[in-house]
Each structure stands twice: as C-alpha cells, then as structure tokens.
Amino acid sequence: MDPNKRPENMERITTPELAEAFIEEQLAAIKEQVGDKKVLLALSGGVDSSVVAALLIRAIGDRLTCVHVNHGLLRKGEPEQVIKVFREELGANLIYVDAVDRFLDKLAGVDDPETKRKIIGAEFIDVFAEEASKLDGISFLGQGTIYPDILESDGVKAHHNVGGLPEDLQFELVEPVKLLYKDEVRVVGKALGLPDSMVYRQPFPGPGLGVRCVGAITRDRLEAVREADAIVREEIGKMNPAPWQYFVSIPDVKSTGIKDGKRYMGWAAVIRAINTVDAVTAQSVEIPWDMLCKIRDRIIAEVPGINRVLWDISDKPIATIEWE
Ligand code: XMP
C-alpha cells in the first residue's frame, strides 16, 4: 500500500467522534514511529502545523521541540497567539525566534516578487537550521503536509514556496495529517481544543505580509499593512459566510492626502475579498457598502500613513489573488 495514497474507503472526517477516532489512531502511530526519540517542528501558527504540534504534544510531550520563527511578516497578534496557545496552554517546548531584523534587512530595497519569496524562503531555512543545530538528539522532523500538498505536487504551495531543507536536516518525517483534506484538519484541530481563530483561519501565504507590502518592503509601510489587515479581518470576518480569503495590500505608490489644508504624501490601501474552490480561479466577493465605509473610516482613522482606500474587484484570471 502506498503510504502517500488515501485509501478509497477512508471515511471523511466530518464529526467530533470521527476526529477523536483519528486522533487516537495517530497518537498510537506517532508513538510507534518515534519510540523514545525526539522530534523537531517548525510551527508557523497555521492550522496544519498547529494540528501536528497539538498531536505530537499529546503523543510525546516534551520530546517535541517546536520552533516558531517570527520573520516580521506575520499578521497582527500571530506570534503572541502561538506562544499563548502552545507554550502557556499546551505546555509545549517552544523556541521563539525573533528574526524580524534579519529578514527585513535582507529584504531592504528588493522589489522583485520572486526574489522576495526566495529571500524569505532561504532565510527561513537558515534560521530554522541554525536553531536545529543547537539541539541535541533530534531524529525526526514533524511536518504539516496535507493531502492536497501530495496531490498537487505542482500546486500552489509547491509553486510558490521555495526551498526544502538542507542535507543535514533531512530527518525522517512525521506527517500525521498527510492523508487529510483541509476541512478534516480543521475538524481534528477543533477536537484537539485549538482555538477557533487558529482552526478556521483563512489561508495565508508562506511569505506572509511580504507579498502584500507590494514592491520593496519598508518597515513603516509593512506596519501599515499589518494594522489595516487586522481591521479588514475583523470587519469582513463578520460576513456570514465569510469569504474564502480577504486582506489588504499596499502598493508602493504614493497617494496625495490633504490634512489641515495641507497636501501630503501617503499610501493607498487596497481591500480584496475573494471566493474560490482551489485558488486556481477566484471570484471577487461583493462586500456590503456599509461595511466598506466602516473599513474605510477605521483604516483612515487608525492606520498612520494611509489616506486612500480602494476595493479590488478583479477576478482570477486575469488578476492573481495576491498582488504579487
Ligand atoms: P495567487 O496570487 O497565485 O494565489 O492567485 C493563490 C493562492 O496562493 C496563495 N499564495 C501563496 N501561498 N506562498 C504560499 O504559501 C506564496 O508565495 C503564495 N503566493 C500566493 C494566495 O494567498 C492564494 O491563496
């Protein structure tokens, strides 16, 4: 039997009971695979790696070491949430790496999207490898691979995300959710007691806000993206159902504002909300006018530097979901 092929008779995990059964099965499988050895996991805070972390903590406790790399491109509150949930609530052995300056220094002045992605991918691996080299006795690497990652080996993640781990980090993999679809991972995450804000998180690209701070990233514009994104997530998150993905980008274009009778240069924030099945095509979602106005007012009032708010109504194709 091919371990990377989902058996045809495998039941779709749709209920808490089925999730519990899956969890029990995986705890036994992890214990069997890992024995008394140690596992290392890059924990981004995304649903896949979070579910794997929660499973591994239950299975092997402090023989799991999680590494959370803050590259400065995470959304508002994300690093804090990872620390709160995993270190404080689940008692994980969590190494938090503040690599913000390292990433932003490397990215300074770089405006080509793929070069930005390559720098972020390569730097991530360097930081992770450095942390791994400080640890003794690691035998396994945990990974939040899910079934679509296996099916679409040329799909979104593989297409965008650069890298792979260096030779000396080629540990045997522990991939407990590799046969699950995303909706099943969420049901399992919920059964493991992870917070809804983690389990039902909208998809977020690996290079994070880096691709939404369009062009060469500057710290002040990146901060504006992060603050505006938090407002948009809060407001559009009230839609029922919420769109598949909704966010803000800030292009590297100046926008004239006027305050106290004086003109000044600021930026324009671009709101985007889309629905899609597979991210290959996407449809712009209609946002109610009242909601748009509230978002506009909040962004203008709360985010320094932004003096113009736009709504991107493009479909994919022709526009990609992200601006770059
Ligand atoms: P595009 O912009 O290509 O995006 O229409 C399709 C989906 O992929 C996400 N995306 C990325 N995900 N690394 C990722 O892991 C990336 O570099 C990346 N770029 C885009 C995007 O958010 C959308 O969901």
- On whether the CB atoms of residues 271 and 299 are closer than 8 A, the answer is no
The pair of three-digit structure tokens given for residue 16, joined into one six-digit string: 């808490």
pLDDT in tens, the chain (324 residues): 899 999 999 999 999 999 999 999 999 999 999 999 999 999 999 999 999 999 999 999 999 999 999 999 999 999 999 999 999 999 999 999 999 999 999 999 999 999 999 999 999 999 999 999 999 999 999 999 999 999 876 544 444 554 456 666 779 999 999 999 999 999 999 999 999 999 999 999 999 999 999 999 999 999 999 999 999 999 999 999 999 999 999 999 999 999 999 999 999 999 999 999 989 999 999 999 999 999 999 999 999 999 999 999 999 999 999 999
pLDDT at residue number 162: 45
Count Cβ atoms below 10 Å from residue 242 Cβ, excluding itself.
16
pLDDT at residue number 68: 98
pLDDT at residue number 155: 46
- Give the CA distances from residue 239 to residues 233, 247, 279, in Å, rounded to whole numbers and listed in that order: 10, 14, 20
CA of 279 to the centre of ligand 1 (A): 8
Ligand 1 pocket, Cβ-based, cut-off 6 angstroms: 117, 156-157, 160-161, 203, 205-207, 211, 245, 279, 316, 320-322
Q: Could you tell which of 123, 149, 156, 161 is best to mutate to test the pocket of ligand 1, judged by most ligand atoms within 8 Å of the CB?
A: 156
pLDDT at residue number 158: 45
Q: For the segment 164-192, what is each residue's pLDDT rounded down to a tens digit?
A: 566 667 799 999 999 999 999 999 999 99
pTM above 0.85, yes or no: yes
Instruction: Give the nearest ligand 1 atom to 320 CA.
Output: 5
- On whether the CB atoms of residues 229 and 75 are closer than 8 A, the answer is yes
The pair of three-digit structure tokens given for residue 287, joined into one six-digit string: 């946002």
Long-range contacts of 210-213 (CB under 8 A, 24+ apart): 210/71, 210/73, 210/107, 210/116, 210/117, 210/120, 211/113, 211/116, 211/117, 211/249, 211/322, 211/323, 211/324, 212/247, 212/248, 212/249, 212/250, 212/322, 212/323, 213/249, 213/250
Instruction: Give the nearest ligand 1 atom to 204 CA.
Output: 22
In which element (H, E) is residue 139 found?
strand 138-142
Name every residue whose Cβ is closer than 8 Å to that of residue 288 and which is 6 or more positions away in sequence. Answer: 239
pLDDT at residue number 1: 83
- Give the CA distances from residue 67 to residues 122, 123, 127, 189, in Å, rounded to whole numbers and listed in that order: 16, 14, 10, 19
* Nearest to 19, CA basis, from 238, 181, 190: 190
CA of 40 to the centre of ligand 1 (A): 26
Q: For the segment 238-263, what is each residue's pLDDT rounded down to a tens digit?
A: 999 999 999 999 999 999 999 999 99
Q: Whose CA is nearest to atom 9 of ligand 1?
A: 205
